[in-house]
Amino acid sequence: MEKTVQNASRDYEFSAVQDDGRSGMWSMLIIMLGFSFFSASMWAGGTIGSALTSPAFIAAVLLGNLLLSCYTGLLAYIAGKTHLSTHLLAHYSFGRKGSYLPSLLLAVTQTGWFGVGVAMFAVPVSKLFPEVPLWILVWGAGLLMTSTAYFGIRALAWLSAVAVPAIIILGCMSMQMAINDFGGWREWLEVVPAAEPMSLMTAVGLVVASFISGGTLTPDFVRFSRNAKISVTSTVVAFFIGNSLMFLFGAVGAALYQLNDISEVLFRQGLIVFGIIVLGLNIWTTNDNAIYASGLGLSNVFKLPKRYMVLVIGIVGTASAIFLYNNFVDWLNVLNAMLPSIGAVIIADYFIHRSRYTDPSYRFSELNVGAVAAWFVGVVCALTLPGIACVNSVVASIVVYVLWSRFAGNKR
């Protein structure tokens, strides 16, 4: 692990990351791959893979992750230029106190995502060890994941360095075993879906929705990059290639075995014990990123160090884990309606008012009504318009914010 990451003990909750806390390509790529390599994407890949032909699946995954990479890549560029977290960037667009809105939304929703991840690990383990009460597994996993997020970006980097190769090995093993069981790649390419057919647009929407809420937090991690080139490259590779791999790992076995649950596929292949360990590491890395980002959000609101906020979030997220797990689809819909328009406003503000971000004498307003209005319109469009909800949200928020800046003067 690079020296700059090893020495980056500060979390820079209230300022830009300084030179001695910045990292190179390898460290940032490992962190972002650890973030984007998430078991939920494998489950989503299984759902899509069992409902589409293989060519349609490939098209949906590539198009969906291309859209996701464009969104996260723009946020990564801004973070690489400014070295500011999502919450500090929101000071420019939403205002000093207006930034509390996105910070609280991001903190609350990612706390819930942390809880879902805890349950995603604990529930399959409880099936292997039914004699162990589920609540013990939930609290054990939650506290363990919280402990590493407490130590900041250094712990995230080291954990990702272990988890990323492990999930690649597991995914490749599972795919190869499925291919061997059914006679070759041609069988996968020619398989006829047994599940209820899914439209290509719905599949693309699922791919984008799988990680656009987490992608909104991209600046919280890539602000540690030495420059914008590193932040953009590591982000695009993670979301376009990394997330596509996760979908592929889940889809091949699902299509061939006609099982859309990755744990059932691994059980059939005799990989369930190894799989639980690796998927646990995989969930751990993404959960740590979620709780780390939530801590930064609450630090912006309450002006307390991130490490204290992480402890509170870990307890709350763990306590709500089973409830959120049982209502996962509803929770995902909340995430995809509420969060993408936050990133859209940040993107629009930066490219309209870029000079403010390099002006040390710039004074923040308390509240930018235009930013809040643009966010709200984005949420409404996500909930009401046809098409891909999160894409509707991003486009609508950018349009509204640009118009507000043009015609209202946006004098702050």
- The DSSP output letter for 258 is T
| pLDDT for the residue 409 | 57
d(CA 3, CA 310): 25
**Per-residue model confidence (pLDDT) at position 412:** 45
Q: Which of 352, 340, 345 lies closest to 389 in space, CA to CA?
A: 340
371: closest CA among 347, 354, 388, 389? 347
Q: What is the value of pTM for the model shown?
A: 0.89
User: Residues 302-334: pLDDT tens digits?
Assistant: 888 888 898 999 999 999 998 888 876 676 677
AA identity, residue 78: I
The secondary structure of 96-163 as a DSSP string is: TTTTHHHHHHHHHHHHHHHHHHHHHHHHHHHHH-TTS-HHHHHHHHHHHHHHHHHT-HHHHHHHHHHH
Identity of the amino acid at 344: A
Tokens of 277: 């360990």
Mean pLDDT of 6-23: 77
For 24-58, the pLDDT digits (tens) are: 999 999 999 988 887 778 888 888 888 888 999 99
57 neighbors 203 (Cβ within 8 angstroms): yes
Give the whole-angstrom CA distance, residue 62 versus residue 67: 9
3-class secondary structure per residue, 337-365? HHCHHHHHHHHHHHHHCHHHHHCCCCCCC
Give the type of residue at 383. L
pLDDT at 299 over 60: yes
Count CA within 13 A, CB hemisphere, residue 170: 30
Q: How far apart are CA 225 and CA 231, in angstroms?
A: 5
Q: What is the DSSP letter of 23?
A: B
* pLDDT tens-place string over residues 188-245: 888 877 667 788 888 898 898 888 888 999 999 999 999 999 999 999 999 999 999 9
- What span, in angstroms and rounded, lies between the C-alpha atoms of 212 and 383? 15
Nearest to 147 by CA among 314, 317, 322: 314
Task: Provide the 8-state DSSP code for 199.
Answer: -
Whether pLDDT at 367 is above 80: yes
Q: Would you say 115 and 318 are in contact if contact means Cβ atoms under 8 Å apart? A: yes
Highest mean pLDDT among 64-78, 151-165, 297-311: 64-78
Through-space distance between the first and last CA atoms of the chain, rounded to whole angstroms: 43
- In which element (H, E) is residue 289 found? helix 272-302
Q: What is the largest CA-CA distance in the chain?
A: 67
C-alpha R_g of the chain: 21
